[in-house]
Amino acid sequence: MNLEWVHPGLLLILGAWVLPLLKGRVKRTAMLVLPGAAMVVCWLMQPGTYGVVSFFGQELVFGRVDRLSLVFSYVFTIMAFLGMLYALHVEDDAQHVAALTYAGSALGVTFAGDFLSLYVFWELMAISSVLLVWLRRERTAVAAGFRYLLTHVFGGLVLLAGIAIYWSQTGTLAFGDLGALSGGVAWALILVAFLLNAAVPPLNAWLADAYPEATVTGAVFMTAFTTKSAVYVLIRGFAGTELLMWLGAVMAIYGVVYAVLENDARRLLAYHIISQVGYMVCGVGIGTALALNGATAHAFAHILYKALLFMGAGAVLHTTGLRKLSDMGGLYRTMPLTLGLYMIGAFAISAVPLFSGFVSKSMVVSAAGEVHSASIFLMLSLASAGTFLHTGLKLPYYMFFGRNPQPKDAVHGREPPRNMLAAMALAAAACILIGVFPGLLYRFLPNPVSYAPYNLTHITSTLGMLGFTALGFFLLLKHLDPERKLSLDTDWFFRRGATGFLALVQGPLKRFESDFVGEIYEFVIRRPVLSVARLLRGIDSIIVDGILVRAGSSIKTLSGMLRTLASGHAQHYGLIMAAGILVLLALALLAS
């Protein structure tokens, strides 16, 4: 068959608009067929360059298909399928259209070979994802959505500025490795925009602010696409940028610290997205073949287990309406299936052997070992302990067990709808499959893989690390009780800092303007200008006007005199002529 190339992203973005026209079972089928079809399209795609469009003399490439973009497209389409399955019971077309558009734009970014098409999908991703926040239709969600959108609009503008400078410097829009421009303005602006979407501190606040405010099903989509497409473009453009290695390691710990303090279940998980993306950013910074494979593999595994974790926390929110750990407890009695599936995700993120995180995270940590960076190695290992501590111990403990002294006060939950459980089960199966058969994932990685995660030392040291983290957790359990508090993050600067800035503008700055700047203006500009103007007006009215007025009045006098001569009566003219002739005659007679 010789079909034209089909863009899987456009398939989702355009196909989404069919959903509002359908009803009932047909609609639910279409919700699964669309991402399923996109998955098949990606799967059948061969490396090459497709979808080249000429646009004002520039070549736009919508289909740069190579090993790197393919592996990301696989996991993005799998995720779109799992997300739609999880959302199958939701009777809100707007959410489905937004979610599919969001997934489609992430695929658009993945296959973009030039900056212009990348930018368009980049912005579409921000717009469609903010809808998933707003569509929860609560006051806090709307406010968080606006903060999310403003942050991403800012990031988009920074990207656009970077692209414009890049274009003017290189004369091309092709998106590839930017190492040659390292340190330049274009390089820095594009990097900042990418880092904002990857939620690298201090550009991280939007993530933990907005994700917990999104709809139950929308949040599952959000965990996958924005940060991981940012990791993809970082691998593409900034591999081996040493700064990223350090930012990534700091980021891995940053998320862990905030997770200790967090009480909102989904916000705790959101901080662990920041922590986990830290490993990927660090891998991009290390930049070796193993590290880039690790960043890619970890993105792949992360999308699946983090979606599973958000699905679990979402199931609790869906059935109990609770989002704060301090309100939960005892749910193991009524939601054992959810607990079991959640724990598979928790083991995967904690890199327990036989689960997906074990075979992906360790690639990045080993890459840090290979470049002999002890501090990076220790920071990433420390963050691993923190990951298990929160996602594997603290959150399930307080959510499903809790101290819960009186069973009759236990929160009453029930298992979520079957489609939600099915999505969780599929994600859980993927986590185990990748963990048990790492080769399934490794064969799709961009570089050839010689890494073997399963050896005795690695297994026992990982188990030791996790086991003794658990010991530390139970020893310090009383210090970990979730508190009804919020933690300041860098969103303080625009949530409270901005209020302070406005007060500064409206108070002292305004007074300074009217009292000081205003006075200076009065004396230095207004008054001198007015006196000069007065002088000029004097010159104008006395001299210029005077001359004109005099000239006018003399002409008027002259014409008055002439008017007495020109009376219009023929006898007067005749009399004057006769007088003239008499004068002439008299002159002639007297002169002769």
**Measured from the CB of residue 273, what is the shortest distance to other proteins in angstroms?**
17
Q: Which two tokens stand for residue 413?
A: 């939950």
Among 479, 560, 570, 571, contact with other proteins (rule: CB under 8 A): 479
Element (H, E) at 55: strand 48-55
**Measured from the CB of residue 467, what is the shortest distance to other proteins in angstroms?**
5
Does residue number 468 form part of the binding site for other proteins (CB under 8 A)? yes
Among 29, 170, 172, 461, contact with other proteins (rule: CB under 8 A): 461
395 closest CA partner among 322, 463, 304, 302:
322
The C-alpha atoms of residue 408 and residue 297 are separated, in whole angstroms, by 45
- What number of CA atoms fall less than 13 Å from residue 244's CA on the CB side? 32
Does residue number 250 form part of the binding site for other proteins (CB under 8 A)? no
Smaller CB separation from other proteins, 146 or 167: 146
Does residue number 463 form part of the binding site for other proteins (CB under 8 A)? yes
* Cα angle: 374, vertex 380, 386; to 5 degrees: 140
Cβ neighbours, 10 Å, residue 441: 24
Does residue number 478 form part of the binding site for other proteins (CB under 8 A)? no
Cβ neighbours, 10 Å, residue 468: 11
Does residue number 538 form part of the binding site for other proteins (CB under 8 A)? no
Q: Which of residues 260-319 bind other proteins (CB under 8 A)?
A: 260-261
- CA distances 35 to 30, 286, 517, Å, are 9, 34, 61
The C-alpha atoms of residue 83 and residue 72 are separated, in whole angstroms, by 16
348 closest CA partner among 309, 291, 386, 296:
309
434 closest CA partner among 512, 368, 358:
358
Select from 165-173, 212-220, 367-375, 510-518 the region that touches other proteins (CB under 8 A): 367-375
Select from 165-173, 255-263, 436-444, 539-547 the region that touches other proteins (CB under 8 A): 255-263
Dmax over CA atoms of the chain, in Å, equals: 155
Select from 92-100, 253-261, 429-437, 566-574 the region that touches other proteins (CB under 8 A): 253-261
Among 122, 225, 377, 442, contact with other proteins (rule: CB under 8 A): 377
The C-alpha atoms of residue 67 and residue 79 are separated, in whole angstroms, by 18
The dihedrals phi and psi of 353, each to the nearest 5 degrees, come to: -55, 145
Q: Count interface residues toward other proteins (CB under 8 A).
A: 56
Does residue number 150 form part of the binding site for other proteins (CB under 8 A)? no
The C-alpha atoms of residue 213 and residue 314 are separated, in whole angstroms, by 11
The C-alpha atoms of residue 29 and residue 15 are separated, in whole angstroms, by 13
Does residue number 354 form part of the binding site for other proteins (CB under 8 A)? no
Among 486, 505, 581, 585, contact with other proteins (rule: CB under 8 A): 486
Does residue number 369 form part of the binding site for other proteins (CB under 8 A)? yes
Binding mask 314-343 for other proteins (x = CB under 8 A): ------------------xx--x--x----
Among 23, 408, 485, 556, contact with other proteins (rule: CB under 8 A): 485
Smaller CB separation from other proteins, 259 or 303: 259
Burial (CB count <10 Å: 0-12, 13-18, 19+), residue 520: exposed
Select from 2-10, 216-224, 478-486, 562-570 the region that touches other proteins (CB under 8 A): 478-486
Q: By the criterion CB under 8 A, which residues form the site for other proteins?
A: 256-258, 260-261, 332-333, 336, 339, 366, 369-370, 372, 374, 377-378, 381-382, 384-386, 389, 401, 407, 455-473, 475-476, 479-480, 483-489, 495-496
